[in-house]
Amino acid sequence: MLARSTHGPAGQEAAPFSEDGLAIAPTAQHFGRDAATGAHPPAAGPTPIETGPLVRVNTEALRHAGVVPYRWRKRRIEVALVTTSDGTRWIIPKGRIDPGETAPQSARREAEEEAGLRGELHAEPLGQFDTLKARGPVGVTVFLMRVTQELSRWDEDHVRHRRWLRPEAAAREVREPQLRALLLKVRRLASKG
């Protein structure tokens, strides 16, 4: 549950994070102003302030990376999708960027952990897409990876299945419209890499 803070500078401040770990920020329009008049408080002495409604700030939003693994089979390109950990739908390997890790390093790690795939990442991101996680919306930076090794066993093979599809078929399997568009770009970009 989120609460409002009415404490002034001398009072106790509200915690900067909610119980679920998301940062909380007051809206700027009321911060530091008198709730009734909208005027700034006098300079002398602490005056209680009304912070207004609280806004959740998703600190994870730009800290996720994913990968579209691809291979060429019989002169046709295929991309790999994996199931979600609960097995209910198809997605690309993706996850949080760990502290000290770059987006490309995270994408490569997620490909191996979630799909059992190793390979060469294209230097530039394929693009970004938004997805909904339990804590709210998350932005995912996506890289293309030409697969050079396919593992028969991997970290999450007990909870995830891997499937190779043509990009058009893969685009029909995913939920996020932005991800669908990225999958449809794969054929053109993969031939350059």
| pLDDT by 10-residue block (mean), the chain, 193 residues | 37 40 38 48 44 47 85 93 93 94 96 96 93 85 96 92 96 94 85 58
The answer to whether residues 119 and 149 touch, using CB atoms and an 8 Å cutoff, is yes
Backbone angles phi, psi at 92, to 5 degrees: -95, 160
Q: Which pLDDT score, from 0 to 100, does residue 90 have?
A: 96
CA distance 77 to 70: 7
- Residues whose CB falls within 8 Å of the CB of residue 107, separated by 6 or more in sequence, listed in order: 65, 66, 67, 93, 94, 121, 141, 142, 143, 145
Amino acid at 154: W
CATH for the stretch 64-190: 3.90.79.10
Q: What three-state secondary structure class fits 61?
A: coil
To the question of pTM greater than 0.75 for the whole model, the response is: no
Residue ranges of the chain assigned to CATH 3.90.79.10? 64-190
Cα distance between residue 31 and residue 38, in whole Å: 10
Half-sphere exposure of 41 (CA within 13 A, CB side): 16
Residue 135 is predicted with a pLDDT of: 80
Rounded to whole angstroms, how far apart are CA atoms 79 and 71? 7
Structure tokens at 135: 């804590």
Report pLDDT for 192.
57
Which residues contact residue 50 at a Cβ distance below 8 angstroms, ignoring those fewer than 6 apart?
Answer: 4, 6, 30, 33, 34, 35
